[in-house]
Amino acid sequence: MQMQFPRNVMAHFCATIAVFAALTLILSTAHGADPKTSASKENLDKSVAKLLAIRPDLPIESVYPVAVEGLYGVDFPDGTTMYITADGGHMIVGDLYAIGDDLSNVTEQRRVTQRKALMDQVALSDMVIFPAKGERRAIVNIFTDVDCGYCRKLHNEIDQYAELGIEVRYLAYPREGLESETASTMRSVWCSSDPASAMTRAKNSQRIAQRDCPTDPIDEQFALGRRLGVSGTPSIVTDAGDMFPGYLPAQQLAQRLGLSL
C-alpha cells in the first residue's frame, strides 16, 4: 500500500517559505528542545534522507530535536507535524504528548509559539478591527469569510464581544479560494475607505462598492491562514497563540480567554 500523508502536506508551498523556515529553526532551539537531544545539521538531514529518497517532492520546512532521545520533529508548510527516528527508519504523523502529572501536548505547545510569532508580524493596518468598548481586556484575531454563515452569526454579535472588553481583529480567509467571488468582495472590504463599515455591510448581504488596491493583504492572509492550519471559518487565534476553531458566543469566548464575567 502506498504511504499517504495528510491531505494538505503536498499543497500550496508558500512563497515566503524561507522566512517560515528561519522562524521555525529559531523556535526549535528556544522551545521544546532538550540539550541532551541536540543534533548536528548532518544528523538532522540524515534522519529524513530515506523519506526524501522516496518522496523527493515533500516540502519539509524544518527538522529539529525534541525532548525524546532518538526522535526528531518535522514541520511542513501547512502546519502539519510528524516525528521521525534518528535513523530515518520509522515515522509517526500526529501530536506528541508528554506524560507527567497530566498529559501535555508538546506539539500544540510548539504550534502556539509559532502562531504567536507569525501573528505578531501582521500589521494592524492590514486587519479590520472592531475595538473593545471601555477597557480592552483581550484581543482575538479571527480568520473570516464574509459569506460564511457562522462568521456572519459571530459578526451579528460583535457588540457583545466589545462589551466584554474583547477586541476583534479580522483577517481574510475566503474559503473558496483567491479567485472566488467571495475573495473579490473581501478585497473590496479591505480597500474601502471604511473597512469596518464595509465588513458589516458585506456580512449583512448589503452591496458595497467594488474596489481594488495594490496593497490589499488578502493573498498574504489566506496563505498565513493555511500556514497556521486554518481549515474553516471563523477560526479564532488568541493574542497568546491559542487557536479556537469555529464560532464561540461572546460569553463562551470570554470564559475560554479566562475573563471574569
- Residue 159's H or E segment, with its range, is helix 158-163
Give CA–CA dist 95/55, Å, rounded: 22
C-alpha gyration radius of the chain: 20
Q: What is the DSSP letter of 215?
A: T
Q: C-alpha cell of 143?
A: 480568520
Axis-axis angle for helices 17-30, 106-119 (nearest 10) = 130
CB contact at 8 A, 239 and 138? yes
Give CA–CA dist 22/3, Å, rounded: 29
The per-residue DSSP string of 87-140 comes to TSS-EEES--EEESSSEEEHHHHHHHHHHHHHHTTS-GGGSEEEPPSSS--EEE
In whole angstroms, how far apart are CA 32 and each of 24, 37, 86, 97, 98? 12, 11, 17, 12, 11
Residues with catalytic roles? 145, 148, 151, 175
Give CA–CA dist 19/42, Å, rounded: 22
